[in-house]
Chains A and B, each alone.
Chain A
Amino acid sequence: MTAGPPLLLAALCLVSGAAFGRRNPRLWLALTLGAMAAAFAAALLVGVGAADWEWRSSLAPGGEPVHVRLDGLSALFLALLCVVGGAAAVFSRGYWADAGHPGSAPANRMWMSLLLAAMGFVLLASNGLHFLIGWELFTVSAYFLITLEREHRAVRAAGWLYLAASHAGTLCLFAFFAALSVRTGSWDLGPLRERADLAPLFWLALFGFGVKGGMFPLHAWLPSAHANAPSHVSALMSGVAINMGLYGILRFSGWLPVPAGAGWAVIGIGAAGALLGIALAFVQTDLKRLLAYCSVENVGVILIGLGGALLGVTHGDEPWAELALAGALLHVWNHGLSKALLFFGAGSVLHATGKREMTQMGGLWRAMPWTAGLFAFGALAISGLPPLNGFVGEWLVYLGLLNAAASRGSAVWAVIPAVIVLGMAGALALATFVKAGATVFLGAPRTRAAQDARECGPLMAAPMLALAGACAAIGLAPVLFWRPLERAAGSWHPQWVDSGAPAPLAALGAAHVAMAVAGFAAAAFLWRKVRVNGVRRAPTWDCGYATPTARMQYSGGSFSGIAMGWFAGILAPERTRHRPHGPFPVRASWLERVPDTVLERVMAPAGGAVMRVSSATRRLQHGRLQFYIVYLLCGLTVVALLTWIGAGQ
């Protein structure tokens, strides 16, 4: 059986879901889940099997024949799209139900179907023109999903920023595909590794796809878009949509030759993004913004792995390069799964309390034990801690880079800083998620809304549970997931086909299983021991203070205060303080806000300069007819002069 029929079925389901799902949510859910299952089956056939799937048709919409292909790399991304897409569809049924959102729920269903179909098409398209059409459809449908609640000003601003940034990237992609088709003479895409003259096009692709992929410093649109979108859309954007950008970079760095400095540039961009992304995440007070910045970090980690692989290939096919690339590819999956899980958790909290500010939450575990437990699980996974999936991916990247350092090649000077940055980002990620989980779910409720929270329904809990199960499976049995990684690495670099799982991966899996079993056993044993010895409940011992209140708890802002001091030079926090005065101070306050450095310190001033130049130019247009006639005469004179000079030569 080939991948063709299930893909056709998936496409039909998604299109009919978009057409008929507006009125009928149940039908829509069934169609979407069917499409995701069918496409997943197709991805599995290619990802685990031996052969790629390719289909050309004589049909030529827009003058170009249809050409689609599913190889190891696109199958890996397609499978993730299906898992997260299906989970988001189920979650949105509970989270964005027709009862609560009568106006936007039908639109949500239609645009979600279109978004999933467009992203799937981008992964399959093997023709530059069709790729761009799919890309644009994907961008636009994501825009409509982000702005579902467009009655809020912040949502409109976030959507606009997203659209503007995306189109800046798309402009680059137009240039990229046009230049490619001019030099190759066709819009058809495929491996062109021996055409050394195409290497400079890599920079266009890196910029164009990097904007969409949340690559630092082009990530400026990402935090506000992910924070202001409905949570199932945030999960879809963070878990899948930014992976489309990464797919583009991976795809074309594999198909086209890369310039000499590409490895250094990618590893440098990745390291900067990993460190600053997580530093920005640590100091956020808005739960969803925190998760969004953490995506910037994870994209950085993925780019570090890709950069390592590029360095290894340019320095003569080093064996560690494949490990680094496999780590990057697995990290795409790990980040997608655990970030979607965390955004669902944040959505569940938002649903229950109506709040995104962590300082207004607290103590939610009592009302929402499932959400709390699953969020903690996701936090462990995304912090890259064993025995979960996040660690396996980071471990592969680390292993590739450490091998590179140990081999003492010329790549060592790129690898050493990258490893140190990875270590630092890992420790900061841990701090970030201890802060997020604890401020939201532990301690005492800080507000009335947090006190009255209710657990989410089964439609929202089930997708979280499924994603957590996938995270655990990758962590405990990583060898099972090697085959698709190997297939993807093989389509990135043709010499890496059938290399076999690296031996330590099995040992790591065994260690993880032993750890998980021992952890469960120890926790159960200690729990029993505590019960046998007897438990007395008492108020928290606040060092003898008799009446502790919820306001006295350590806040998230205080928690990240120490590390914020270290990064103050880059983060530049804005502080408004009113110190207490006199013996009986009436009021005192301390407000702290960390702006997005790139957006507010670089892009906004640059945009302001463009606006000033434009408005200066606009003075030429004032509505006085006599001046327009003068402009016209000047223009005609210039044209006449040019014609006269041209005729004279």
Chain B
Amino acid sequence: MTFILETLLRLAAWLLAAPLLPGIINKVKAWIAGRRGPPVLQLYYDLARLWGKGVVMSTLASPGFIVGPAVAWVALVGAALIMPLGGAGGALSFRGDVLLLVYLLALARFCTAWAALETGSAFEGMGAAREVSYAVLSEVALITAVLSLSVQTGNVTLTDMLALSVGSGAVLLAAGLFAVLLAENCRVPFDDPNTHLELTMIHEAMILDHSGPPLAVILHGASLKLLLFAVLLSQVVLPLGRLSPLAAAGALVGTVLGVTVAIGLVESLTARFAFRRVPLLLTAAFLLCLFALLLARKGGVG
């Protein structure tokens, strides 16, 4: 009974907190640019409005156009439930759960790309092609980060892998994972969520034809993914296992906010890369994770 209650509480926390992050990023961007910007809660308003709207569906689209976003959202929620939160651990924790997390993200990608290709639009094909191709490199970086964590801690359970800081490799891992975060969540310099030129989009190009509740589900899922990566990044750096539960929770929230502000700063201060350079940056992220792995192999358990 307590397990169900705890899981529901955890679920509510993830679902409700996630749409806050894009709001904060936009606020930071507006602040740097000297604008007032949209309210922090803008995404909540957008989601509420989209949820009540009707849907325009392409004449070519099959039921997969609706099913895809729903399954992708469930996969992301599942990944969020596995992710440990400080001392509280994950809702489900077992040896090798970290791989389930990585592959749930992949399932979400499969469904989003599939739904995008339902429409037969060249732009959405372009977006889906970019998404699945660049994901190859970011997945390699992510797997290398996982390897480095498991070599460092001698463990393959997410809770134990993230309990302690990874020591000297933490900076390298954090830098690598931050780049992966930016790429996987389609932020500048990989992709510009605010662009209006379809030819240069990745994620936004995939959802051009979505509207109404399915679009709300996609947007909410995207914010959930952002929060997931921010939480992962924070726990890789912070030795939360050594803190008291309250302090750990405070530190986690603080770091996630810090990461969010950092994303806003990156978006304000850098321009989007040309597509040719995206693989280079992702390869650099992979190399950072690889060096962290080599350091972990060299160093002792700590």
Residues of A within 8 A of B (CB): 362-363, 365-366, 369, 372, 376, 380, 383-386, 391, 395, 398-399, 402-403, 405-408, 412, 416, 419-420, 422-424, 426-428, 430-431, 433-435, 437-438, 441-444, 502-504, 507-508, 510-511, 514-515, 518-519, 522-523, 525-527, 529-530, 533-543, 548, 550, 552-554, 558-563, 566
Contacts and interface: CB of A to CB of B under 8 A. Distances in A.
A380 B110 contact: yes
A563 B136 contact: yes
B104 interface: yes
A550 B135 contact: no
Contacts of A527: 63, 66-67, 70
B97, B147, B209 — which one has the most chain A CB atoms within 10 A of its CB? B147
Q: Enumerate the 10 nearest inter-chain pairs by beta-carbon distance, A residue then B residue, closest first.
A: A554-B125, A443-B120, A423-B143, A438-B117, A507-B94, A431-B132, A504-B94, A562-B133, A534-B54, A427-B139
Given A365-B64, A538-B58, 6 more contacts: A386-B103, A420-B147, A427-B106, A438-B113, A530-B55, A554-B122
A578 B54 CA distance: 47
Contact of A540 (B58, B75, B94): B58
B107 to A, nearest CB: 4
Given A541-B208, A553-B125, A526 B70 contact: yes
Contact of B103 (A391, A424, A518, A542): A391
Contacts of B103: 384-386, 391, 395, 426
B53 interface: yes
B73 interface: yes
Contacts of A399: 95-96, 99, 156
B104 A386 contact: yes
B142 A423 contact: yes
B74 interface: yes
A437 B111 CA distance: 12
Nearest to A565: B279
B284 interface: no
B55 A420 contact: no
A30 to B, nearest CB: 37
A13 B245 CA distance: 68
Contacts of B119: 443, 540-541
B140 A424 contact: yes
A508 B94 contact: yes
Given A405-B150, A406-B151, A424-B140, A541 B209 contact: yes
A507 B94 CA distance: 7
Interface in B114-145: 114, 117-126, 128-130, 132-136, 139-140, 142-144
A511 B92 contact: yes
24 contacts: A365-B62, A386-B107, A398-B96, A402-B96, A402-B147, A405-B147, A405-B151, A423-B139, A424-B140, A430-B109, A434-B132, A438-B113, A438-B118, A442-B62, A442-B117, A507-B92, A511-B82, A533-B52, A536-B55, A538-B56, A540-B209, A543-B198, A548-B120, A554-B126
Given A424-B136, A426-B139, A523-B66, A548 B121 contact: yes
Nearest to A423: B143
Contact of B150 (A402, A502, A514, A558): A402
Interface stretch (B21-29, B210-218, B231-239, B260-268): B210-218
A523 B147 contact: no
Contact of A420 (B59, B132, B133, B144): B144
B217 A526 contact: yes
A69 B97 CA distance: 39
Nearest to B279: A566
A566 B69 CA distance: 30
Contacts of B53: 533
A535 to B, nearest CB: 5
Given A406-B156, A424-B140, A523-B71, A511 B120 contact: no
Contacts of A442: 60, 62, 64, 114, 117-118, 120
Contacts of B51: 529
A362, A502, A536 — which one has the most chain B CB atoms within 10 A of its CB? A536
A533 B212 contact: yes
A244 B147 CA distance: 33
Given A386-B107, A402-B150, A419-B143, A553 B217 contact: no
B208 A416 contact: no
B71 A427 contact: no
Contacts of B67: 523, 526-527
Contacts of A525: 70
A519 B139 contact: no
A515 B208 contact: no
A12 B100 CA distance: 46
B262 to A, nearest CB: 26
Contacts of A539: 58-59
Contact of B59 (A422, A537, A562): A537
A283 to B, nearest CB: 12
A508, A530, A540 — which one has the most chain B CB atoms within 10 A of its CB? A540
A402 B293 CA distance: 13
Contacts of B126: 554, 558
A322 to B, nearest CB: 14
Given A427-B106, A530-B66, A535-B55, A553 B120 contact: yes
Given A398-B96, A406-B156, A426 B132 contact: no
A540 B55 contact: no
B124, B125, B156, B214 — which one has the most chain A CB atoms within 10 A of its CB? B125
A504 B60 contact: no
A510 B150 CA distance: 24
B54 A363 contact: no
Contact of B129 (A365, A366, A548, A562): A562
B190 to A, nearest CB: 13
Contacts of A553: 120-122, 125
Nearest to B108: A385
B36 interface: no
A395 B95 CA distance: 11
A396 B226 CA distance: 28
B51 to A, nearest CB: 8
B159 to A, nearest CB: 13
A420 B151 CA distance: 14
A518 B60 contact: no
A419 B148 CA distance: 11
A385, A395, A412, A510 — which one has the most chain B CB atoms within 10 A of its CB? A385
B204 to A, nearest CB: 12
Contacts of B272: none
B213 A529 contact: yes
A434, A435, A502, A566 — which one has the most chain B CB atoms within 10 A of its CB? A434
Interface in B165-212: 198, 208-209, 212
Contacts of B136: 424, 427-428, 431, 563
B213 A530 contact: yes
A515 B107 CA distance: 11
B120 A430 contact: no
Nearest to A365: B62
B78 interface: yes
Nearest to A538: B56
Nearest to B51: A529
Contacts of A424: 136, 139-140, 143
B94 to A, nearest CB: 4
B155 interface: yes
Contacts of A518: 74, 77-78
A526 B156 CA distance: 36
B120 A444 contact: yes
A141 B147 CA distance: 46
Given A385-B103, A530-B55, A552 B117 contact: no
Nearest to B73: A522
A526 B73 CA distance: 11
A398 B156 CA distance: 10
A444 B156 contact: no
Given A508-B96, A529-B213, A523 B70 contact: yes
